[in-house]
């Protein structure tokens, strides 16, 4: 949404244009106001806390597409999918896979995981829960600063298929608004809690400018099976284009952090590269 000063200057310019037709003062009036208009610039969603009750602020919900700005053309609108893709697009090619982490950020486990990924020079995708992101916004900035993808994993990890479409829109929209406000870019990927999508939630996902993402390798790390079993789940099931599901929040994740540190050299030894998902 444009700032009030921008709107005022545009109205002033219109008034001058009308005056020009009758008074013939084009040169001075238009030049002065055009300069003011260019200087005010176009803003994003702006600051402020998320709207109470879980609803996204109108400034976000009124956008035709998440990610639109006042400068340039908006990106193409994602299609409404019938399901979430569980593997990377074939165009990715080669021995590549994507590491994804859900339910964070967590004040202890997420920083440790970020340090491990940084040491191995690997980028991943973090599907954050809105209420956790609101509590630890600095960790979202740390993710973005290291080049990781920040995705939408709902506001409070409620099952989308059991919610009214309007509530799904408020829930996902509120989370996207927060991510946009903190890191300066709205999320382009969304993962439904428990991977549970249905046609109404997939439509909301597309309306908010996001693509749904599933997974092909489930480490079951949330059950805390032990570091060795998490490592084997990844190395034994790694295939070109795989999307690996893990967690950095939602409970103790020491095993997950240790497993990532252990399996990344093994994946590299087998010719695998960890990549960010591409639209």
Q: Which helix (H) or strand (E) covers residue 242, if one does?
A: strand 242-247
CB 178 within 8 A of CB 134: yes
In the prediction, which pLDDT does 92 show?
62
| pLDDT, average across residues 107-112 | 98
121 included as an active-site residue: no
Q: Would you call 270 a catalytic residue per the annotation?
A: no
Write the burial class of residue 53 (CB in 10 Å: 0-12 exposed, 13-18 middle, 19+ buried): exposed
Q: How confident is the model at residue 26 (pLDDT cuts 50, 70, 90)?
A: very low
Place 35 in a pLDDT band, splitting at 50, 70 and 90: very low
266 prior amide bond cis, ω within 30: no
Query: What is the structure's pLDDT at 193?
Result: 98
Give the SS3 label for residue 150.
strand
Q: What is the model's pTM?
A: 0.73
Q: Catalytic one among 106, 109, 157, 247?
A: 247
Give the pLDDT score at 90: 66
- Residue 181 confidence (pLDDT) above 90: yes
Catalytic one of 6, 102, 109, 180: 102
């Amino acid at each position: 949404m444009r700032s009030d000063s921008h709107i005022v200057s545009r109205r002033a310019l219109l008034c001058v244009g009308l005056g020009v037709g009758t008074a013939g003062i084009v040169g001075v009036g238009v030049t002065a106001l055009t300069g003011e208009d260019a200087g005010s610039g176009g803003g994003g969603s702006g600051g402020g806390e998320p709207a109470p009750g879980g609803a996204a602020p109108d400034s976000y919900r009124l956008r035709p597409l998440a990610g639109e700005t006042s400068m340039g053309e908006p990106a193409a609108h994602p299609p409404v999918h019938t399901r979430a893709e569980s593997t990377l697009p074939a165009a990715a090619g080669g021995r590549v896979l994507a590491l994804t982490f859900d339910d964070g950020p967590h004040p202890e486990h997420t920083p440790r995981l970020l340090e491990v990924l940084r040491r191995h020079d690997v980028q991943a995708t973090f599907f954050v829960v809105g209420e956790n992101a609101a509590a630890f916004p600095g960790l979202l900035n740390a993710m973005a600063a290291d080049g990781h993808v920040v995705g939408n994993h709902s506001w409070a990890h409620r099952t989308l298929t059991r919610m009214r479409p309007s509530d799904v829109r408020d829930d996902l929209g509120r989370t996207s608004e927060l991510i946009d406000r903190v890191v300066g870019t709205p999320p382009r990927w969304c993962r439904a809690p428990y991977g549970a999508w249905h046609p109404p939630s997939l439509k909301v996902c597309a309306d908010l400018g996001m693509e749904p993402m599933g997974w092909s390798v489930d480490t079951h790390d949330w059950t805390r099976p032990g570091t060795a079993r998490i490592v084997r789940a990844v190395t034994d099931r790694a295939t070109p284009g795989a999307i690996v599901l893990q967690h950095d929040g939602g409970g103790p994740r020491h095993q997950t952090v240790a497993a990532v540190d252990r399996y990344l050299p093994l994946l590299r030894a087998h010719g695998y590269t960890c990549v960010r998902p591409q639209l």
